[in-house]
Amino acid sequence: MGETGIVTDAWGWLTTGAHWTGEGGIGQRLAEHVYVSGAALLVASALALPLGLWLGHLGRGGALAVNVSNVGRAIPVFAVLALFMVSPLRNTGYVPTVVALVLFAMPPLLTNAYVGVREVDRAAVRAARGMGMTGGQVFLRVELPLSRPVVMTGIRSAAVQVVATATVAAMVGQGGLGRIITAGFATYDTAQVVAGAVLVALLALLVEGVLVGADRLIGRNRRIAER
């Protein structure tokens, strides 16, 4: 089967209405994927962003925290997930998947939050302090707004990585779009495998686009407020 035939068959699989509904349909798998990815990103952001921003504001301990966090990049998510699935967590639904993805998402969030604050123009910080601003005011009014582009880059990177990596959950029997891919492999259905991969890619691109749009909207509102 040529590449054109595979693409045509994958398109045919995606446009078949029966594949979108019912138990194990695309609708269910997409909802599972969004739920797991969203939960992991929210938890990782709640843990990593405040820590990274705070350490960046203090200017101390950040390098060590970032280096320790980056160790997580070298640990395969599937290996962590497999370990969780032979632990008591295996009977807690999506918890093993969410925890594994949280560990995977934290490094870019923590690193970019720390670096973003540390790269803020020190002259602007000194000027703010010279105007009598407290440490908290400097952080909220100067460091946080100016670090936004770098912080948002970290959020986008983590979000796309989480969406793409959440497919491994299917390998240990969890839900998500990865189940479409593994089911295709099990039945030697190449069209289904390609269709599942396309769905994951499209979801990742959609998430990236939404976050880029949100970043631009925040930036535009900030410029309007400063006028």
Q: How many helices (H) and strands (E) does the chain have?
A: 10, 0
pLDDT at 143 over 80: yes
pLDDT above 70 covers what percent of the chain?
89
Which pLDDT value is given to residue 204? 95
Which pLDDT value is given to residue 39? 95
Which residue is associated with the tokens 């101390």? 60
Q: Are 114 and 90 in contact (CB under 8 A)?
A: no
DSSP letter (8 states) at residue 139: I
What is the value of pTM for the model shown?
0.87
Which pLDDT value is given to residue 3? 62
Question: Any long-range contacts for 40-44 (C-beta under 8 Å, 24+ apart)?
Answer: 40/97, 40/98, 40/101, 40/102, 40/104, 40/105, 40/162, 40/166, 41/101, 41/105, 41/155, 41/158, 41/159, 41/162, 43/98, 43/102, 44/101, 44/102, 44/105, 44/106, 44/109, 44/158, 44/162
Neighbours of 45 (CB within 10 A): 19
| Residues 6 or more apart in contact with residue 90 via CB below 8 angstroms | 84, 96
pLDDT at 89 over 70: no
Angle, helix 26-58 to helix 95-118, in steps of 10 degrees: 40
Give the torsion sign (CA, 188, 189, 193, 194). Answer: positive
Which pLDDT value is given to residue 74? 67
In b/e form, how buried is each residue of 133-156, taking b as 16+ CB within 10 angstroms? beeeebbeebbbbbbeebbbbbbb
Q: What's the rounded mean pLDDT across residues 143-159?
A: 93
Best mean pLDDT range from 50-54, 73-77, 214-218? 50-54
Q: Are 10 and 191 in contact (CB under 8 A)?
A: yes
Q: What's the rounded mean pLDDT across residues 108-121?
A: 90
Which pLDDT value is given to residue 226? 66
